[in-house]
Amino acid sequence: MNSNPATPMNANAPSSSSGGAGSPDSTAPRRNSKRPKYSRFTQQELPACKPILTPKWVISAFMLVTIVFIPIGLASLFASRDVVEIIDRYDNACVQGSKSQKVQYIQSNASKTCTRTLTVTKRMKQPIYVYYQLDNYYQNHRRYVKSRSDQQLRNRGDENDTSSCKPEHNANGMPIVPCGLVAWSLFNDTYAFSISNNQSLPVNKRHISWKSDREDKFGSDVFPKNFQNGSLIGGAHLNESIPLSEQEDLIVWMRTAALPTFRKLYGKIEVDIQAGETITVVLENNYNTYSFSGKKKLVLSTTSWLGGKNNFIGIAYLAVGGLCFILATTFTLIYLVKPRHLGDPNYLSWNRNPGGH
């Protein structure tokens, strides 16, 4: 019998020399750690600016926005006001009758010539941009947008690449160049202008498209082929002796619009037109918008340093500047009538209601 009352030591218990944490034994295996390497960046200890939004800073910020935005808004409105714009809707004026009668007329072989008269109320400085505007025309329809072949438009050797152009991919067993619904529906109304003394106003149609489109998206060695030779004619015909890179009406049309109401550039009039002059427009009303209740408009417009007529930008700047001015004035009155000192502990909820009720 063991006279020592001490309990025998368990042989499996860890000893101080077993290499545990804090042990100086260098032969013990070291435990892997996922702790990232210390840096002031990872521990977010870099110097930082933490501004305190005092009433003076907030009021000053609102006043700064007011001082900047209101002059910009006024300048934008004045620039838009200087733009002279004439808009004439001619689809209903050139064709009378019910919808079915209009569709029947536009699809017939009858003469589509129509004469319109426009009055210039303010002097129009050159260049005067001529646009056609279409309403209720969804060029952004998925099937319509995808019905084209960019490879075919760019490279002469890819004229057979028409798989994405259906249903306007071939005619009489031959590929169509350019293929697809977008090219097939090319706008084909034409306009001729003259002023009151029968002086003709020539329309310059060069460089009306984007330079990047002419040089990069439409090949200079790609020519129209078998175009509008099917049973159903969609729009304008193309001159087969002119490469696609020079067919600027087509290039402008092929840049599809995102909204159902859009304008596309037809050309430029490069002479001044004085106030009071009468412009006579002889147009060919060929394009069928009557089937889908669309609208056609002729637009003559000058430009300013801000572009065409657009009041929205000026109104938006004035609205934001005015709102900031109202807020700055309101905060100033509150600060003067009922000032509040920063860091005052009396405004803490537990100090205002010590009992918690």
pLDDT tens by residue, 112-159: 999 999 999 999 999 999 999 999 999 999 999 999 999 999 999 898
pLDDT at 357: 54
Residue 23 has pLDDT above 70, yes or no: no
Distance CA(53)–CA(56), nearest Å, equals 8
More confident residue, 172 or 83: 83
Count Cβ atoms below 10 Å from residue 206 Cβ, excluding itself: 9
* Chain segment 304-337, per-residue pLDDT in tens: 998 999 999 999 999 999 999 999 999 999 999 9
* Chain segment 26-77, per-residue pLDDT in tens: 555 566 677 778 888 888 888 888 888 888 999 999 999 999 999 999 999 9
Residue 266 has pLDDT above 60, yes or no: yes
| pLDDT tier for residue 4 given thresholds of 50, 70 and 90 | very low
* Average pLDDT, rounded, for the chain: 88
pLDDT at 292: 93
